[in-house]
Amino acid sequence: MNKPADLNEAQWQAVSHEGSHLIIVAGPGTGKTHTLIHRIIRTLKTLEQDQRILAITFTNKAAHQMRERLEAKVPQLWRRVTVGTFHWFALSLLREFSEYTPLPKDFQIALPEDIQGFMGEIFSEKSPVQHKQVLEEISLIKSTRLVVDADDNYQKYHRFLRAKGLIDFDDILREAFILLENEDISFKVRQRYRYLFVDEYQDINLVQNALLKILTQEGVLLTAIGDPNQSIYGFRGSQVKLFHRFIDDFLGSVKLSLTENYRSTVNLLSASSQVISKDCGHEVPQATAKIYDQGKLVIHEAATDRAEAEFVAHQIEQLVGGISMFSQDSHRVETYRKAQRSFGDIAVLYRLNAQKNVIIEALEHLGIPYTVSSKPKVKKEDLKELRQDEKDEILLQQFEETLSYNIEKVSLSTLHAAKGLEFHVVFIIGCEAKLLPLDLADMKGDPQEERRLFYVGMTRAKEHLYLTRAGRRQLFGQTFFNPPSIFWEDIEEDLKAYENSKLHRRLSKGKEAEKQQLKLF
Q: What is the mean pLDDT of each run of 10 residues along the chain (521 residues)?
A: 90 96 96 96 92 95 95 94 97 97 93 87 80 89 87 88 94 97 97 97 96 97 97 93 96 95 92 88 65 81 96 95 48 46 96 97 97 90 90 92 91 96 97 95 91 97 96 93 95 89 52 48 42
Q: Determine the Cα–Cα distance for residues 252 and 298; give it in Å rounded to an integer.
A: 46
Q: Determine the Cα–Cα distance for residues 324 and 317; give it in Å rounded to an integer.
A: 10
**What is the three-class DSSP state of 439?**
strand
**What confidence score (pLDDT) does residue 381 get?**
86
The CB density around residue 291, as the number of other CB atoms within 10 Å, is 17
> Can you state the angle between helices 169-180 and 206-215, rounded to 10 degrees?
30
**What confidence score (pLDDT) does residue 44 get?**
95
Q: Determine the Cα–Cα distance for residues 356 and 475; give it in Å rounded to an integer.
A: 11
Residues in the chain, overall count? 521
Q: Determine the Cα–Cα distance for residues 18 and 14; give it in Å rounded to an integer.
A: 9
DSSP state of 98: G
Helix (H) or strand (E) holding 266: helix 266-277
The answer to whether 342 and 407 have CB atoms below 8 angstroms apart is yes
**What confidence score (pLDDT) does residue 488 get?**
95
Q: Is 162 exposed, middle or buried (0-12, 13-18, 19+ CB in 10 A)?
A: middle
The answer to whether 89 and 62 have CB atoms below 8 angstroms apart is no
**What is the three-class DSSP state of 414?**
strand
**What is the three-class DSSP state of 491?**
coil
Q: Give the CA distances from residue 10 to residues 26, 31, 258, 260, in Å, rounded to whole numbers and listed in that order.
A: 10, 10, 6, 9
Residue 406's contacts (CB-CB under 8 Å, 6 or more residues apart) are: 344, 369, 371
Q: Give the CA distances from residue 316 to residues 297, 357, 373, 495, in Å, rounded to whole numbers and listed in that order.
A: 15, 17, 19, 22
List for the chain the helix, strand, coil content (%; round to 5).
45, 20, 35
Q: Is the dihedral of CA 202, 206, 212, 213 positive or negative?
A: positive
**What is the three-class DSSP state of 11?**
helix
The answer to whether 216 and 20 have CB atoms below 8 angstroms apart is no
Helix (H) or strand (E) holding 448: helix 447-458
How many CA atoms are closer than 13 Å to the CA of 206, on its beta-carbon side? 12
Q: Which of 188, 191, 215 is CA-nearest to residue 204?
A: 215
Q: Is the dihedral of CA 108, 111, 114, 120 positive or negative?
A: positive
**What confidence score (pLDDT) does residue 332 get?**
37
Q: Give the CA distances from residue 79 to residues 36, 44, 51, 83, 96, in Å, rounded to whole numbers and listed in that order.
A: 17, 10, 12, 9, 19
The answer to whether 332 and 324 have CB atoms below 8 angstroms apart is no
- Alpha carbon 99 to chain centroid, angstroms: 35
Q: For residues 493, 496, 502 and 503, what is the CA-based torsion angle, rounded to 10 degrees?
A: -40
The answer to whether 101 and 94 have CB atoms below 8 angstroms apart is yes
Q: For residues 101, 105, 109 and 113, what is the CA-based torsion angle, rounded to 10 degrees?
A: -130
Q: Determine the Cα–Cα distance for residues 438 and 357; give it in Å rounded to an integer.
A: 19
